[in-house]
Structure 1
Amino acid sequence: MAAHETHSNMAAEHDLVVPLHYFDNNTMFTSITMHAIMVYDEILDPERLRATLSQLVERETWQKLGARLRKGKHGHDLHVPRKFSSSRPAIAYRHVSLDMLKAEHHAASLIPSSKSAPKERPALVGNPEDWTELCCGADAPKTSADYVGSDRPVTGLRVVSFKDATIVNIHWLHIAADAMALKAILDNWVLVLEGRAAEIPSQYGFDEDPLRELGLHTTEPFDLAGLELSKWGTAAYALRNGYSIALAKKESRTVCIPALFMEKLRKTARQELNDQGRREQFLTDNDIITAWFSRLAFSHLPPEKPVTIMQAMSMRRALEQDLLPPGRPFVSNCLTFTSVLKTKNEVDMSLGLLAGDIRQGVNKHGTREQIEAYNGMVRANAWPLGPMPVFFGQSNMHHIGYSNWKKAQVNLVDLSTACVTKRNSPLYPSFVTQIQGGIAYPDGFIITGEDAQGNYWLEGYRPGGLWSHVEKLLERDIAS
C-alpha cells in the first residue's frame, strides 16, 4: 500500500502516513525497543553526532526513521513529518555530561572492554543491568505505548560524555529495523560524518512494502512442517512457560569468548566432524559459538529433555533474486528463522556434530523457496498477534533463541571524525552492548559480534538462576 496524506493533531503541517510493513506489524516488534550501545575511549563531540545522524534521517527515503507512531485502522501507522524542525526533530536526542573520568563513575566502571577481556578462557564479564540506566536513561521508551502517546521519533540518540570517554546509544522501536538495517544506518551515518553524504544510496521500500506478497506463493512445504507447535501445543507451552515469559525475573549477563579460546573451539569442532567423515562440511564461527553456548545453556536439563535451538537470519540476500534490488538498503525487519530440534543428550554428544547440524539448518532454511514456505506458515498463524515467528518442537521442550549481529559490524564503527581532538587513525568501540527494553525473551541470546582483537561477545536474558549453571561450567574451563 502506497503512502497517503493525513493531518496530525500534533503538527501544523500534513504528515506523510506510511502503513507499517506487514512483517513489521506484530506484537513482538511493537513490544521491544532496541539499544545499540558503543563505548569509545575518546571524547566525542555530541552535537556533531546529533547533527550528522539527524542529517541522515532527514534525507529523502531515510526520513521514515524519524516517523511518529500512531494507531491506524489496521494496526499502527508511521507518520512522517513533511519537514523536520526544532519542535519536531528527526531523532529523539539526549546528552548527559558527567564531569569525571569513566572509571570514577560506579556504573561506567563496571562496563567491560576489549582491553580488560579475558585472554585464554571465556567468562561472564558483566551484568548489563548494572549499566542500563546510565546508557539508556531512566525514562527510556520500552514499547509502542511510549511512542503512540507522544510525538517521539521512532529513532533516538543518547550520548553520555566523560572526561576521557563517550557512550553512544542509538535506539529504536523494533518495528523500524533489524540488525542488518542497523548496519545500513551506521554505515551511512559514518558517510555523513566523513563528509561523503553524496555517496548515500536511497532506501528501498520507503513508502510501500516490497515483502507484501512474501509467503503467498509457496512451491514446497517448509522443511520442519508438521513439527510446529499446534494451537494446543502452543497453549501447553504457554501454560508451562507463560510465567517465565511474561512475569518472572530475567537475569542478563555478558559473556566474552577470547580469541585464543575461539581458536580451540574451531579446532575441536573441525576434528570432531573429520572423525565422523564430514571433512568437507563448512562451518562458520556462528555455528560453533551457537553449538558451544547451547550446550552450556541446556546444562541444567535432564538427558531426555526435548530442546530447540532457534536462530534469526536475514532474508535480504536470498530475496535479491526477486523482491529486493542488490545494492540498496532495506531498512526494516527482514528476518526468517531456522531451528534445530534435539534432546539434551544429543546436544551433549559432540560440539562438531551439533555445529554441523546448525550449519545444515541455516543452509537448508535460507533458500528462497524455504523462506517463502516458512513465511507462508507465519501468515497462516498470524492471528491474533500478527506475523510472529513459528515455534518448532514439542510442547514440553526447552526453547532458546539466537540473533547474531556480527555482520552488522557494530564493533567496527569508526567515529574518529567525531573526536574533539583530531586523530588520523580509526576509532573503534572498546565495548559494544545491546540492551532490549520492553519484553525480554526468557532464554534469548545475542552474539553482539567480534571485536578488533578477535574476541567474541555474547549477551543473553535467562530466567532467574540459570546463569549460575553456565558460570559453574565456565569456571571448570571446559573447552568442548
Structure 2
Amino acid sequence: MLSTSILWSGLAKSSGVGRVTYKRIPIPHVATDDVIPCDGLDDTRTVRTIIMGCEFRFNEVLDCDKIHAALARLLEIGEWRKLGGRLRLNKASGRLEFHVPDQFTRGRPAVRYSHIRYHDIDMEQHPRMAAHFPHPTTTPSVQSGFDQYIDLLEPDQSLHKFEDYLCSDHPLLSLHTLSFRDATVLVLKWPHAMTDAMGRHALLRNWSYVLAGHIDKVQPLMGGLEHKGSDVTTEIAKLDPEPPSELEVAGHQRLTGIGMLLFIMRFIWVLLFGGKVVPKVLFVPAATIKVLKDEAQRDLGISEGLAKRKELPPRLSEGDILTAWLARLSLLSSSTRSVAIMTVVDMRRRLRCIFGQQPGPTGPVWVQNLTSVAMAHTTVQSLLTNPLGETARHIRSAVQEQTTPEFVARCVRSFHSLPPSQRPGLYAKSDSILVAVSNWHCAKFFDVFDVSRAIVAGDHRPSSSGIQWPTESRPGKPVAVVPVGFSDNPELRNSWGVMGKDAAGNYWMQGMCTEATWKAIEKELGRLGRGER
C-alpha cells in the first residue's frame, strides 16, 4: 500500500522570488506494481492529450454500488487487471506504461468511484440536467453539450490532463454516478491511451457479464500482464508483403517541410481568429435518417430498372451517408478550400486473420487503440454543391481502398518507422480543412451494456417530464449515450463522434464546431425537418 507521502506527491512546493510556485512531480514507481508497456497506437502525441468520457442514461433506478462492484470485480479477473493500472511515463524510453498494483485495496482501488443521490426529485426536475441533458425530439435538433454541466459529471475535476494521471495515483477508469427518483446516469472516464470505441464495447459487454453473475462468460483480454512487451501492431505490419516504401494515401504523401509549415500556420490562424469550438449534441430521428438514405439512393440513380440490369453502384452504408452529411454540415459557414474527410476505422473487424470475429460475445478481446484513418479528399465547393449520394460514394470508395489488410499493414509499418514526435502523419494538401468522423455504431453501446440486474425493484416510476423516450428500449439498457470530453484539444475542431442508434433507430452524435457553424446547421436542420432539400 502506498504511503501518504507518495499519494500526495502530485504537487511539490518550491520557493520563488517574492512568491511561491508549484512544480508537478510524477508519482514514484511502486516496486510491487506490474509494469505493462503501452502498445504503439496507445502512445501517440495526439492520444496522450485526450481524456475521454461517456454518459449513459437509464430510465430506471439502479443500485450504483452493485454496478461499481461488478466493474471492480471484472478488473480483478486475469488480464483484465491491466485496466486497473496507473498511467506512467518511462523517462528512459519516453514511452507510456501501465503500472498495475499487485493487489487492489481501498487505498489503491481498481476504479475511482463516486455517487451522488437525488432520490427526492425526477431527473427533469433538476434545473441543470433538465436544461442541458440531451433528449429525443421528433425532428433533428442541436442540443446542449457537456460543457454546460460538466461539473455535475465528475466529483472533483482533478483529471483533465495527461499530467493529472502521471502526477496522481488515480486508476485509469473513473465511474461517477447520479441517482434520481426516475432515472440514473453513469459517467465513465478514462485516458484515450487506454482504449478506443471497440475496446469500450468489450469492456461494457464483460462488465455486463459480471453484473449478471456470468463470470464464466468473461472473455480473455489480450495485451495484458502475460503479453506485456508484445505489440499486436507488430504482427499487423507483417501482413504487408511489399518492400518498404513511402506511404501514399489517396494520392497524397505525408505532409512535410514547407507544406506542413503552411498547414500549421493556417491551423494556428483558424485557432486564433476562426471562433471558439463548442461541443453540442446532434439528435437525428430514425425518420430523418430514412430521408437522408432515400436522398443518397436517388442521387446515385438506383431505380427498379437499374436493379434489374444489375448496374448498382457500390452499396452505401448509413455510416457513409452520415459521414458525407456531417462533413457538409461542418463546412456550411466555411470559405473555399480543400477538404480532407477522415473516417476512423477499426482494425479488428478488418483483420480477421489476427483478431478473429470481432466484435463477438466469445473469444479474446483487445481493449486498446486499434484504429486507422481512411482519407477522402474534396473541396468545400464540391462538398456543398455535389449530391449527397455522390459524396457518400466517394467516401465509401476511400474506405474500401484504404482498409484492405495489406493497406492497413502498410500504414502501421509506416507508423512504426516514424519517430514518436512525428506520429501520426498527415496525408492531405497544405490548405486542407480536416473533418473527422468517428462512427461508433458498430460498438453497439445501446445494445451491449446491460445493467438490468442492478434495477432497484419497486422503485421504477414513469417520468413526468413529457419527453417521449423510445418505448422499444428494454429495461436496464441505456436510452441515451452521450460523449464527454474532459480535455481541451484544439485538434478536435470539425470533428464528430457518432454514438450510434438507440432502440428506436434514432442516431445520437456530438460535434465540435464553432457557434457560427452551429447556427448554419440549425438552419439546415430546419429545412430538412420541413422537407426542403
TM-score (norm 2): 0.82
Matches within 5 A, 1:331-346: 331-346=367-382
The equivalent of 2:42 in structure 1 is: 24
CA distance in 1, matches of 2:254, 2:233: 23
* Cα shift readout 1:123-144 (whole Å, capped 9, x = no counterpart): 2133322232212345151222
Q: Which moved more, 1:145-154 or 1:369-378?
A: 369-378
Q: Is the radius of gyration larger for structure 1 or structure 2?
A: 2
Structure 1 letter corresponding to 2:294:
K
Picking from 505, 508, 511, the partner of 1:454 is 505
* Cα shift readout 1:396-423 (whole Å, capped 9, x = no counterpart): 1211101111111112222111111169
DSSP-derived class of the 2:341 partner: strand
CA distance in 2, matches of 1:200, 1:291: 38
Taking structure 1 as reference, are residues 140 and 166 closer, same or farther at Cα in structure 2, changes over 3 Å only?
Answer: farther
Picking from 393, 415, 426, the partner of 2:428 is 393
Matches within 5 A, 1:185-200: 185-200=203-218
Taking structure 1 as reference, are residues 393 and 425 closer, same or farther at Cα in structure 2, changes over 3 Å only?
Answer: closer
The equivalent of 2:410 in structure 1 is: 373
CA distance in 2, matches of 1:53, 1:244: 42
Taking structure 1 as reference, are residues 245 and 187 closer, same or farther at Cα in structure 2, changes over 3 Å only?
Answer: farther
The equivalent of 1:5 in structure 2 is: none
CA distance in 2, matches of 1:103, 1:339: 42
DSSP-derived class of the 1:468 partner: helix
* Cα shift readout 1:20-73 (whole Å, capped 9, x = no counterpart): 111111121111111121011111111101100000111110011110112212
CA distance in 2, matches of 1:336, 1:258: 29
Picking from 274, 284, 289, the partner of 2:322 is 289
C-alpha contact (below 8 Å) 2:296/2:389 kept by paired residues: yes
What is the Cα deviation at residue 14 of structure 1? 0.6
Picking from 283, 307, 313, the partner of 2:339 is 307
Matched, 1:427 2:448: no
* Cα shift readout 1:154-184 (whole Å, capped 9, x = no counterpart): 1111111112211101111110110000000
Structure 1 letter corresponding to 2:428:
G
Taking structure 1 as reference, are residues 380 and 242 closer, same or farther at Cα in structure 2, changes over 3 Å only?
Answer: farther
What is the Cα deviation at residue 228 of structure 1? 3.3
What is the Cα deviation at residue 244 of structure 1? 4.7
DSSP-derived class of the 2:219 partner: coil
Matched, 1:210 2:215: no
C-alpha contact (below 8 Å) 1:110/1:130 kept by paired residues: no
The equivalent of 1:79 in structure 2 is: 99
Kindly tell me the number of residue pairs found equivalent between the two proteins.
467
Taking structure 1 as reference, are residues 344 and 88 closer, same or farther at Cα in structure 2, changes over 3 Å only?
Answer: same
The equivalent of 1:67 in structure 2 is: 85
CA distance in 2, matches of 1:324, 1:439: 36
Taking structure 1 as reference, are residues 317 and 127 closer, same or farther at Cα in structure 2, changes over 3 Å only?
Answer: closer
Picking from 115, 118, 122, the partner of 1:101 is 122
* Cα shift readout 1:60-104 (whole Å, capped 9, x = no counterpart): 100111101122122221111111111110111111122432112
Taking structure 1 as reference, are residues 268 and 213 closer, same or farther at Cα in structure 2, changes over 3 Å only?
Answer: same
Picking from 308, 319, 322, the partner of 2:351 is 319
Identity %: 26
C-alpha contact (below 8 Å) 2:481/2:499 kept by paired residues: yes
CA distance in 1, matches of 2:357, 2:239: 19
What is the Cα deviation at residue 201 of structure 1? 1.6
Matched, 1:384 2:384: no
Point out where structure 2 has 5 or more consecutive residues left out of the alignment.
1-25, 461-472
Picking from 516, 521, 524, the partner of 1:473 is 524
What is the Cα deviation at residue 209 of structure 1? 1.8
Structure 2 letter corresponding to 1:460:
G
Q: Which moved more, 1:206-215 or 1:332-341?
A: 206-215
CA distance in 2, matches of 1:311, 1:64: 29
Picking from 64, 74, 99, the partner of 1:56 is 74
DSSP-derived class of the 1:438 partner: coil
Matched, 1:117 2:136: yes
Structure 1 letter corresponding to 2:476:
L
Point out where structure 1 has 5 or more consecutive residues left out of the alignment.
1-7
